[in-house]
Structure 1
Amino acid sequence: MTAVPEWMRPPRPEGWYSEDLDEIAEAPRHTELIDGALVFMMSPQRVWHARMITALVNSLTDQAPEGIEVDREITIRLDKWNRPEPDLLAARAPYDPSRTFYTPEETLLVVEVVSPESAHRDRNVKLRKYAEAGIANYWRVEDEGGAPVVHAYELDDPTRSYVPTGIHRGELRTTTPFAIKLDLDGLVPGRKN
């Protein structure tokens, strides 16, 4: 058995803090903090997942109004012990090239593209954590036979929980967090409809 590298040991008994992520140079790319524990994305990424993220970033960027940034794979500092990294997000925040995270107050939409290794976190853990943090909109994108299906949720403020607003196949149209129209079947280049 190999010894755990020193950098993987939490700096305090209660675990890691959100600000610690910026200080761990040795951590693999796409390291998240969930409940004070480091979560590494070590599984190989599927082409479908990568293309879906790219297509969504491009489509949402084209439709986003002035002042809304669309970014991929940037963490959200939810609280002291949680800094997940969604596949993409839309935020009302000025462009800052040195930014390493957004806050829930800035974040308008979080999108997770589900992969086998992230399914539980995306469907359960992150759904609850994003809602508790007050992020207004959450989309979970599932692969249904090569076609994207978007499960859309909107925050119910009094309960700090998400309510489903629709399951979208083929096309998605919404006015929240801004006017968006997506040809879902056209998002995956190379897919035969």
Structure 2
Amino acid sequence: MTALPEDSWLHSIRPQPSRVTAEEYEELPEEIARAIEIVDGYVVYCEAPAPDHQSAGRRLANLLERYARDAMSRGHECLTVNNDVDLRLRDVPLLNRRPDVVMYRCLDRERGEKLRAQHALLVVEIVSPGSETQDTTDKLGEYAKAGIPHYWIVRLDQIGVSTIERYRLDLASMLYKHVGTLMKEADPAPAITNPLPLTIDWADLQF
């Protein structure tokens, strides 16, 4: 067998560190937790989103929050909408994501309740360069397996949100079924009924 040269890049490979536990993750400072996700116990570093990505997430959250409040005024259970918050999908091995937008049932703050999959009604991920596989394959499977009822994959153009791919959980298979794609060019004001009755005003989703 031929020996590897001492300067070969293969010599720089090191075994991955031990998996991060839920307890260890909860001890991390917030500034570190905000920069990572944990997948099967291993740290995945998250690049800071581009300004357009951040703007789109904020505008989507504002739109969803407006309709959530309207629904609550008509008797719907308490709902919260947030950007970039910890969402615990599994404790062992730890699976912790930070969706771009998430709508969820209000938590019991006095009890220190953490956001888990069973609280979430809708998770939204905005596709950016380098996140295509994660958003359309990896997270699509993870969120479905965790039992989150609705998942949206959002794409941008030069001025804002251009398409919203909508998925709904099929409980029999625990897989998402595509239920339609909202397109700015095709419908100026699409109305949907799930997870809440709402109308997409594309102008509200521009940068």
Per the normalisation by structure 1, the TM-score is: 0.82
Residue 32 (structure 1) aligned to one of 30, 37, 42: 37
2:168 aligns with 154
Q: CA RMSD in A?
A: 2.4
Are 1:91 and 2:104 matched, yes or no?
Answer: yes
Distance in 2 (CA, whole Å) between partners of 1:82 and 1:185 is: 35
Aligned equivalent of 2:194, options 171, 176, 186: 176
Of 143, 162, 165 in structure 2, the residue corresponding to residue 130 of structure 1 is 143
Q: How far apart, CA to CA, are the structure 2 residues paired with 1:97 and 1:116?
A: 40
1:69 and 1:95 in contact (8 A); partners too: no
* Equivalent-residue separation in structure 2 for 1:112 and 1:178 (angstroms): 18
CA gap of 1:147–1:72, structure 2 versus 1, over 3 A, is: closer
Report % sequence identity. Answer: 28
Q: Deviations over 1:43-84 (max 9, x none)?
A: x42222111011011111111032010011112111122011
Name the structure 2 match of 1:20.
Answer: 24
Amino acid at match of 1:84: R
The alpha-carbon deviation at position 28 of structure 1 amounts to: 5.6
Structure 1 spans left out of the alignment, 5+ residues: 1-8
2:52/2:160 contact within 8 Å kept: no
CA distance in 2, matches of 1:163, 1:185: 28
Larger Rg: 2
Unaligned runs of 5+ in 2: 1-15, 73-77
Aligned pair in 2 of structure 1 residues 24, 59: CA closer, same or farther (>3 Å)?
A: same
- Paired residue secondary structure (1:54): helix
In structure 1, the residue matched to 2:10 is none
Secondary structure of the residue aligned to 1:48 is helix
Q: What is the count of residue pairs matched by the alignment?
A: 178
For 2:27 and 2:143, how far apart are their aligned partners in 1? 24
Conserved in 2, the CA contact under 8 Å of 1:74 and 1:101? Answer: no
